[in-house]
Structure 1
Amino acid sequence: MTTDDPTRDPDTPLTSKGARTRRSILDAAIVRFGRDGYRATSVADVARDAGVGGTVAYAYFPNKEALFLAAADEDAAELVAKGLSIVFDDPQRVDWFARVMSTLVGSLDDHPLARRLLAGLEPDVTQRVLEIPALAELRKACTERLRAEQLGGSVRRDIDPAQIANGMVMVILSLLRSTVQLGLEATAPYATDITAVFSAAIDIPR
């Protein structure tokens, strides 16, 4: 997270030690909220897991809700970052969208809080999943990739890259939710079909 994080107390300087403490608190919050949920978790629980005093967490996050939202954004950002690296990895790969999908689905078990939100276990903030900053970054990255491929002649010129990128991200999000709720064995067979739909939508007719 950046130092202009709105959940951080602006009066608390992020020295290297402060940054490490904040990181420890966030890591502990991701694990604890991901395992026990928002209602069953207290800030004191998170502080204890992080190895800091019970009131230290409040120097970085004003309340439990702010801590939870920051942890959710951080866990989602780390998950999405794995997909972003693929979007920018190799401009010559034609299967980048399929690789983004498979990478994100395969990484779900390493991100307990993101997985919990996708499962709908936190109904008060489920809608906020669509507003997670990391998803905006993924939409932007996909838009830029599609636009570059248009210029390179491998993608149709008559499509709107931003619109197609939005659709891609929504499909990825739906696939992640389906995988969490139904299991990988139920959703994996459809990955090729999803890729085929997008290929038909963006590829230049041969």
Structure 2
Amino acid sequence: MSAEERRESVIRAAITEFARGGYSATSTEVIARRVGVSQPYLFRLFPNKQAMFLAASERCLTDTRRVFADAAEGLEGEEAQSAMAGAYQRLIVEDPDRLLMQMQMYAAVAAAEAAGDHEFGESVRAGWLQMFDELTVAVGGDAEEATDFLAYGMLINTLTSLGFPVGHRIWSKFCEPPGPAA
């Protein structure tokens, strides 16, 4: 396996481990074990734990942006929004680590900011802003519609995080439950 392939497997493992344990409670040792490499080898691929977390965060946001872009391809307006919403709902229901990683990103940034580390949040905010900008384009250039779309997305995150099953009545009050993949 090349170093780039190994780096990729570390990022995937880091998403899983950080999603489940958070930044502070996840050791690099557990990530190394999941990948099947030594801890010193991890540090040949990434300079420190924070770099691993940021790589996992960036991948999580990149994958989410890709889900939105793929779903909206060739569509406009409400059709694009509906397709993106359904694709996102399927993503976080089928791969709960993606949602957990997002939640851990927000918590890690808040903790770092409270401790005076603003550089940590800058990277995560840059990825999130890129997602907002791409969503704004996808919904026709209307920042207010992109904001509404993301607000419903955060509601979906909350419902899913709290364990409301997709068919629960609360989903129908605010959004359509995810259907089968198109």
> TM-score, normalised on structure 1?
0.64
Q: Deviations over 1:69-102 (max 9, x none)?
A: 2212212322332122112x22367422122112
TM-superposed deviation, 1:56: 1.2
TM-superposed deviation, 1:26: 0.7
Two-structure CA RMSD over aligned residues (Å):
3.1
Q: Which has the higher contact order (CA 8 A, sep 6+)?
A: 2
Which runs of structure 2 are paired with 1:139-154 in the superposition (5 Å)? 139-147=132-140
Structure 2 vs 1, CA of residues 41 and 139 (structure 1 numbering), >3 Å: closer, same or farther? closer
Choose which of 19, 28, 35 in structure 1 pairs with 2:20. 35
> TM-score, normalised on structure 2?
0.71
What is aligned with 1:96?
Answer: 80
CA distance in 1, matches of 2:30, 2:75: 45
What is aligned with 2:158?
Answer: 177
Greater mean alpha carbon deviation, residues 98-107 or residues 163-172: 163-172
CA distance in 2, matches of 1:187, 1:101: 16
Contact 1:43–1:64 (CA under 8 A) maintained in structure 2 = yes
Structure 2 vs 1, CA of residues 168 and 101 (structure 1 numbering), >3 Å: closer, same or farther? same
Question: Structure 2 regions of 5+ residues with no counterpart?
Answer: 112-120, 177-182
TM-superposed deviation, 1:44: 1.8
CA distance in 1, matches of 2:76, 2:146: 18
CA distance in 2, matches of 1:107, 1:113: 8
TM-superposed deviation, 1:179: 2.6
What is aligned with 1:55?
Answer: 40
Amino acid at match of 1:42: S
CA distance in 2, matches of 1:99, 1:187: 20
Amino acid at match of 2:171: A
TM-superposed deviation, 1:112: 0.7
Which runs of structure 2 are paired with 1:105-116 in the superposition (5 Å)? 105-109=89-93, 110-116=95-101
**Percent identity of equivalent pairs:** 19
What is aligned with 2:179?
Answer: none
